[in-house]
Structure 1
Amino acid sequence: MPQLYLKKLQQTFLLLLALVVFTNRLYAQTSYELNFGWKCAPVKEVVADGYKLSGQAFDIKSWMPATVPGTVLTTLLNNKKVPDPFYGMNNERIPDIYKTGADYYTYWFVKEFKEVATPGNQVYLNFRGVNYSCDVYLNGHKLNKELQKGMFLRFSYNITPFLNKTGSNKMAVLVHPPDVLGNANGGQGGDGTIAKNVGLQYTAGWDWIQPVRDRNTGIWDKVAIQKTGAVKINDTHVITLVPGKRLPEGVQQPAIVKVDAELSNPTNAAVSGAVVYEIAGKMVSKSVVLKPNSTVTVKLDDYTLQNPKLWWPNGYGEQYLYDVKVKFVAGKTVSDAQNLKVGVRQIQSEWNDHTGSRQIAVNGQKIFIKGGNWIISDAMLRFTDTRYDAEVRFHRDMNLNLIRIWGGSIIERPEFYDACDRYGMLVFQDLWGSGDCNGRWIDPMKLEDQWTRRKYPDDHGLFLRSAEDQIKMVRNHASLAIWCGGNEITPPEDILVALKNDILPRLDNTRWFVDYSNSEEMSRNELGGNGDGPYGIQPLSVFWQHKTYPFNSEVGSVGVGDYESLKRFIPQANMVPPVYNDDTHKNKTDSVWEYHKYIGYDTSITKYGKVKNAEDFAAKAQLVNYDQYRGLAEGFTAHMWDWYTGFIIWKTQNPWTAMRGQMYDYYLDPNACLYGLHNGSEAMHVMYNPVDGMVMLANNTFKAKRSIMLVIKAYDMAGKDSLLTQVFVDIVPASTKKILSVKKILDEMSAKEGVFLSLQLLDTDKKIFSDNLYWLPDAKGDYSGLQKMKSNGLVTTARYLQSGKVEVTLTNPQNKVVAFFNRISLVNADTKERILPAFYSDNYVSVLPGQQKKIIVDYNPALFGKNLAIDIDGWNGASNNRLINIAN
């Protein structure tokens, strides 16, 4: 089962890759990636050295095909040398590098390619990421004088003098694993020594992932050939300044654009020319003379951009991106060029004395942060533009506006930032460190004491060089908002001082730097502890009633997928639902569920009835998922700018088949967490406080909302409605407003078997723009009425609006019961398997008697064709009438 889904995902990624390569060639014919045709072999099986291996005479035909970019483990998996480590207990069948020794995963990678040097031009071999160190040979020459070390360093070699005149070239790269392998002993980051490296910490295991057996050794990021004239543009820096307080609409006052470019001239002659950039049809240039064998940074004159189209975070305005073309021109010849996408915006931050926390502003407007914590897209570093786009789009669909990149991982790839730029997701980027590995707490699982761990990594100079390089790589992205020293701990003092006083002021001085992720510089801690949490199942009242940290960098709950999701990585023999013991307060959990880090739902599932099997458990878990994340978003939003300036959910995605903290699974299949969050985080929202019964409005926009109609109704289990009130209301921008309490009447109505509460906001055209349905328990706290609901009379139709877009219409006739909690899935009509990824304007939707709802489904038509159908799985739907044909 999982291999089938992976094959489909790989087809998606390869198609987009072809499109990206084609598009890049239109604009930059001087650069291409070396993605295919690599061969590899373990070092212990190779007797030749790099000089011989990179010679034309050495035969590598019998070597194993290698995946580059990729890791050794990815190559072994793709060659069926190891089982899929994401399925069942397969990871236990793969040798761990700590036990095998480093040589087991030390590999030679060899690539043949065609390229010739032409007079007056330079040819470069560029690596964007090798884990952890390497030696590089080309045509019998060694390119690096010393071992090239650093997972987070880009390497560039001028290979012009080493290219064969015939055009046939051969490269050999010997890749070594991390210097310190780390004992995966079950602790957070194993025994902690993985943090001695400047690299990934999660690869030694965490409470959401099992160890990655090769510690992600390999040429894990892109390898490219770049051809230029005499002068090469290394890094460009674009800063935009947007003074004053702006609104998304209307004529804008000017913005300032500041550009500088780092240029290198590797030749033995001086080069005269000009640096030129173009934005909005205007050219800015500066003449320069580059000395032989020199590298300089050239600052161009500031440009005043009239009536700019601004970039805004999701929910606040458009994400407009300007094309900025930068080039170096010598005479009439373009020596090198870069094409950038630039969002015109300015990030500000200031302390909020009322909340006791930092607040973020964009273009002068304060932004209530609704964020998600992100680990990495794929635990085995299989990155693609398509997957990045899908994952970031899901975050946009959750109505979030920020993604935090956790410090035990990486500075994400530029393609991730591209997606965040498109979808309006601010990025809070940690640097490499964690409280667990780097010594914040006493931990018996760790090999060394806190004093020693506090000095990790071993090579502080490598850390700082890596930080400089990666900052340059991503600093032009509009989405990048916050730099952070590390997860729950600062880096060592000398590193911290260098970052704050030198590197960031020099390379990227327009963003807020916070020392560590739950620092009191971000959120004043009045509650004790370390400024994060709570985690796991919470009574909904907690989110509303109990004040937590005013800018919470980690707060979260559960996240088990539905049965279709579980089938992708759990063998049928292990489809055994957990059983919670009320006396011991512990879960009896199957070994595979345990291995995949199941976190307990405790008593929340049985409130919906006794669990029949794993499928029933997973279905009921979706009700809990929806309620938990809607409640979390609403509880924090209810106190925005009073208790809180933001919250960041731990966590919204998994790079492995884990069973906790995820809005969608590894295979990009969303669960009800996503849509509960989508509902609770909408910009203009009506909500219900379960503690005091108060109906409230939240306006998280820059505009006042006037003369909107609030309709409050209750529905019993037979579908009979009771109008509680219907009233016009107003609300000012960036605020919440209490309307009235309906607790007393709802307590009476729900006492016997529960009740549905419908809250709707209608605009002056009588169109519903916030529609929120709660299911309230009976007097005992159980959902007894849901357990005996009649089947609904839902009528479902579907039609193609255009290629890749389907409209699903759900109609519930009058005098019927509520059509409750319907999961819509786009599926293959023959196999009934879900189309992944697919994007739904809403899901897990309920339709009231006499109501009609329309859901839009987006997918990639190039991959899945038209042999599709819609599957409807509702709580009280007819089980024999689920598949709906799609009309043309």
Structure 2
Amino acid sequence: MYKTISLFFGLLLGNHLFAQQQYELSSGWKCSIASAVKINGEQLSVPSAALTDWQPATVPGTVLTTLINNKQVPDPMFGMNNEKIPDIYHTGNARYTYWFVKDFKELPPAGDGQVWLHFRGVNEGCDIFLNGHRLTAATHHGAYLRQSFNITPWLKQNGDNRVAVIVYPPPFPGNPNGGQGGDGAIAKGVGPQYTAGWDWIQPMRDRNTGIWDKVFIERTGAVRIKDPHIVTLVPGVRKPGLAQAPADVKVSATLENSSSRSISGTLKYTIDNTTASAKVTLPAHATVTVALPGLQVKQPKLWWPHGYGEQYLYQSSLQFIDAAGKQQSANTIPVGIREIQTSWNPHTNSREVAVNGQKIFIKGGNWITSDALFRFSAERYDAEARFHRDMNLNLIRIWGGSLTERPEFFAACDKYGLLVFQDFWMSGDCNGRWLDPMKKEDQWTRRQYPDDHNLFLESVADQIKMIRNHPSLAFWCGGNEITPPADILAAMKDSLIPKLDGTRYFFDYSNSDSMSYNHIGGNGDGPYGIQPISVFWGERTFPFNSEVGSVGTGDYESLQRFLPKENLVVPATGKGKLDPVWDYHKYISYNQHIDPYGATNDLREWANKAQLVNYDQYRALMEGFSAHMWDWYTGVIIWKTQNPWTALRGQMYDYYLDPNACLYGTRKGAEPLHIMYNPLDGMVTGVNNTFNYERDMMLEVRTFDRLGHDSVLTKVFVEIGPTSIQKYLSVKPMIDQLRKKEGIFLSLRLVKAGGQIVSDNFYWLPNEDGKYNGLAQLPVAGLQCSAKRIKPGVISVTLKNPADGAVAFFNRVSLVNAQHERILPVFYDDNYISVLPGETKTIEISGENVVKEGKAQVEVYGHNVQRQYIEIQ
């Protein structure tokens, strides 16, 4: 039906923290429900044991993923198929307790060589066997806890090996009763809470039971390098693009000697042709953490968040070389040299963030996880991070009811310059903050979840070690809207994080007073749902708002991917009137905001009008917060920017990676140098989120009526300082008069010498009654479109609107295949654009799928532009 990227892991491992000689066990797995297996793990893991009637298994993946891929259950993303899948709460855990088996080739190593078997994530418990031997001393528990086994003694001489894993579901899957996290019992374990259902997702029926993350084999010498720790320090105030003073780098790593003899050698770290080393002697079977002497990088290339500078990554190396000169183990570690600081802004009463000594206004998005069934891939992570970069955001917050994100996610954020705010696995809903009749146990009981505090802390320590070297990782957070229990909080705050990291600020919880002083009461979040545009400009909310926003319905092409034909209807309003499938997919009503554009019973038209609302909402949200930066606010994080399921809310692109107008409204409102219009007082205001002083810009303010007649309100030279806002002039009396009857188009531009447009912002304003009746009467615009490939992977689309006509309003550009179905994902440097009479605009389309799809066309349609398909030259 459409082309999209794979939802499963490919062979790309990423070498962020791993030794060089390693490979993934990602294919050829088989599985069976445990109740049908009549032999034990020791017997099953013998390579000669028969696997009669076993089915192909998806690893990494959950039990439910395997069942879907084997067509034993329907796709839970579509319609109400999820209701057809048995829920673990009703069936009992045995229904989703499975054996997974993998045969693989690996010869015993020569000499001191060692072979390791690594599991990066199993949910929730497991026992692991290899070649007739049990590897787990006791049953493993903990969805977030990595496991490593030295399997050298158990490898078969002929190289034919078998690993067998029995996976147990969460012991307390909870009742999916419609509450946030169901009845809350899911939080008794250490694992993702959203799998029991939330107000933006239906429950995952197996609660994501399975070998959900990578399994791989690693080869090393007798000494293995584990958990390297790279800290970069950038003293002083830096500016991108200049020659830099030195930066300091501190390195440590854990060395494990698997041999029965003492080994001496040198641990050596190299970055930018600069080396630090230390001689080490490791006793037999010892594990030692070694700190290297500090080193300096001269004239470093720094890593900056998106919008402020380059995201330079050094490829550094860590080696252990024994006394005989043999390399026992080696790691390649990408490093971004940067330092993140925070301070308390006493004017806003909120946390202020600086990178490399320069204050950064935080523009962020809340993230759940890439896929609700944990079907992850480096390619999908890259696409989603790129979407966030394209929205001109500079931070992603990982919400606490989900997981610690994977190294591939952080690698994508490193690449695109996105700071990461990582919650740990708590939520105010499940963990007792509020009185909730949907919950099984009282608040005092839930306040002590999870049952095993030691497992939680062990998992915290392990996950810190896994991701701490990524420059994008900026903050740790105890949980979503609640602190962990007192003993867990104290251990994290006073011991684990200072010892294992010590460079990142720790927030007790996501909306704590240490982040944003709550001066207006409530939960410290919101508002949620669609707001009047004036709210974002005129009503003060929390000074570093961790969650605000919510809408995000896609267009017709998006809706038809997961709504059955009979449910492709305009959503009704009123209790009991909403289509049940829309309700099941968590729809938030748009109609009172779409009605000013004119009521309709046609879903395609309704969805296109919803995009007008989407664009306006998120442009206004980003503009309203930016207009008050450093006065009311130091940051804002949108709730939420993506959906791991086919929900009808809170997303800038749909589950299938098709962007909607929320993305481009956010992109416009959050652009680093931006000109904008305050709807309350008519003030034309500039915002500069760069470190540059911008001078000699012409501010052009023009209006257009529905026939395309323009009025130039002003042209004036303006300037604006770095990281600041600047009010220029109010045009409210003129605008109010012009828009009185039919509404008006307002064009704001900042133009530099030679006609270079550095900010272009186009509003459609309603009439005095708040209706957009002028848009309903727009004449058809004769938009002329062409497309050509300008280099591999990039298509340039030209949109030319003839003079003496109407504005070509709100045009969606899409790359489609020969069947006119959208190719996903691809990336547009702008979309939902309007072209003024007599003007030409270009849009660039890029991405890997632009290269792969040879017979593509470009589709263009707009509010008053007929749909057309363009051949690519």
TM-score range, shorter chain: over 0.9
Alpha-carbon distance in 2 for matches of 1:635, 1:178: 43
Confirm or deny: 8 A CA contact 1:577 1:589 kept in the other structure. no
Confirm or deny: 8 A CA contact 1:804 1:858 kept in the other structure. yes
Aligned to 2:82: 91
Confirm or deny: 8 A CA contact 2:130 2:161 kept in the other structure. yes
Confirm or deny: 8 A CA contact 1:373 1:404 kept in the other structure. yes
AA aligned to 1:47 is K
The correspondence for 2:375, drawn from 382, 395, 399, is: 382
Alpha-carbon distance in 2 for matches of 1:156, 1:566: 43
Aligned to 1:100: 91
1:865 Cα deviation (Å)? Answer: 2.7
AA aligned to 2:87 is D
Alpha-carbon distance in 2 for matches of 1:732, 1:149: 54
AA aligned to 2:271 is I
Alpha-carbon distance in 2 for matches of 1:849, 1:13: 46
AA aligned to 1:105 is Y
Alpha-carbon distance in 2 for matches of 1:515, 1:763: 46
The correspondence for 1:196, drawn from 188, 194, 198, is: 188
Aligned to 1:436: 429
- SS of the residue corresponding to residue 773 of structure 2 reads coil
- SS of the residue corresponding to residue 865 of structure 2 reads coil
The correspondence for 1:39, drawn from 19, 30, 36, is: 30
The correspondence for 1:659, drawn from 627, 643, 648, is: 648
Aligned to 2:578: 589
Instruction: For 1:395-406, list aligned pairs within 5 A.
Output: 395-406=388-399
Aligned to 2:106: 115
1:29 Cα deviation (Å)? Answer: 5.2
Confirm or deny: 8 A CA contact 2:26 2:215 kept in the other structure. yes
Alpha-carbon distance in 2 for matches of 1:798, 1:576: 34
Confirm or deny: 8 A CA contact 1:871 1:884 kept in the other structure. yes
Alpha-carbon distance in 2 for matches of 1:680, 1:153: 40
1:878 Cα deviation (Å)? Answer: 2.0
- SS of the residue corresponding to residue 573 of structure 2 reads strand
- SS of the residue corresponding to residue 872 of structure 1 reads strand
- SS of the residue corresponding to residue 623 of structure 1 reads helix
Matched, 1:793 2:782: yes
Alpha-carbon distance in 1 for matches of 2:536, 2:499: 41
1:580 Cα deviation (Å)? Answer: 3.2
Q: Percent identical across equivalent pairs?
A: 59
Aligned to 2:621: 632
Aligned to 1:133: 125
Instruction: For 1:245-644, list aligned pairs within 5 A.
Output: 245-330=237-322, 331-580=324-573, 588-644=577-633
The correspondence for 1:163, drawn from 151, 155, 159, is: 155
The correspondence for 1:762, drawn from 751, 754, 759, is: 751
Alpha-carbon distance in 1 for matches of 2:573, 2:30: 50
1:863 Cα deviation (Å)? Answer: 6.8
1:629 Cα deviation (Å)? Answer: 0.1
Instruction: For 1:232-247, list aligned pairs within 5 A.
Output: 232-247=224-239
1:495 Cα deviation (Å)? Answer: 0.3
Instruction: For 1:653-802, list aligned pairs within 5 A.
Output: 653-802=642-791
Number of aligned residues:
870
- SS of the residue corresponding to residue 261 of structure 1 reads strand
Alpha-carbon distance in 2 for matches of 1:31, 1:61: 31
Alpha-carbon distance in 1 for matches of 2:121, 2:363: 31
Stretch of structure 1 that moved more, 83-92 or 46-55 = 46-55
Instruction: For 1:169-180, list aligned pairs within 5 A.
Output: 169-180=161-172
Q: 1:71 to 1:419 in 2, by over 3 A?
A: same
Deviations 1:762-784 (A, max 9, x none): 11232111000000011111100
Aligned to 1:883: 869
Aligned to 2:820: 832
Confirm or deny: 8 A CA contact 1:578 1:587 kept in the other structure. no
- SS of the residue corresponding to residue 870 of structure 1 reads strand
The correspondence for 2:797, drawn from 797, 808, 811, is: 808
Alpha-carbon distance in 2 for matches of 1:498, 1:717: 63
The correspondence for 1:54, drawn from 23, 45, 55, is: 45
1:611 Cα deviation (Å)? Answer: 1.3
**Structure 1 runs of 4+ with >3 Å offset:** 861-864
- SS of the residue corresponding to residue 131 of structure 1 reads coil
1:37 Cα deviation (Å)? Answer: 0.4
Confirm or deny: 8 A CA contact 1:270 1:289 kept in the other structure. yes
Confirm or deny: 8 A CA contact 1:587 1:600 kept in the other structure. no
Deviations 1:435-488 (A, max 9, x none): 000000000000000000000000000000000000000000000011000000
Confirm or deny: 8 A CA contact 1:835 1:864 kept in the other structure. no
- SS of the residue corresponding to residue 793 of structure 1 reads coil
Aligned to 1:855: 843
Alpha-carbon distance in 2 for matches of 1:789, 1:402: 39
Confirm or deny: 8 A CA contact 1:710 1:760 kept in the other structure. yes
Deviations 1:317-355 (A, max 9, x none): 000000111111112211111111100000100000000
Confirm or deny: 8 A CA contact 1:579 1:587 kept in the other structure. no
Confirm or deny: 8 A CA contact 2:124 2:168 kept in the other structure. yes
Alpha-carbon distance in 2 for matches of 1:30, 1:737: 55
Aligned to 2:215: 223
Alpha-carbon distance in 2 for matches of 1:152, 1:860: 32
Alpha-carbon distance in 2 for matches of 1:363, 1:606: 48
Structure 1: gaps (5+ residues): none
AA aligned to 1:867 is K
Confirm or deny: 8 A CA contact 1:557 1:629 kept in the other structure. no
- SS of the residue corresponding to residue 284 of structure 2 reads coil
Alpha-carbon distance in 2 for matches of 1:747, 1:226: 69
1:754 Cα deviation (Å)? Answer: 0.7
Structure 2: gaps (5+ residues): none
- SS of the residue corresponding to residue 620 of structure 1 reads helix
AA aligned to 1:31 is Q
The correspondence for 2:61, drawn from 58, 61, 70, is: 70
Alpha-carbon distance in 2 for matches of 1:390, 1:440: 35
Alpha-carbon distance in 1 for matches of 2:444, 2:130: 44
Deviations 1:783-816 (A, max 9, x none): 0010111100211110001221100011111111
TM-score by length of 1: 0.97
- SS of the residue corresponding to residue 455 of structure 1 reads coil
Deviations 1:42-62 (A, max 9, x none): 011111111111112211153
Alpha-carbon distance in 2 for matches of 1:576, 1:587: 15
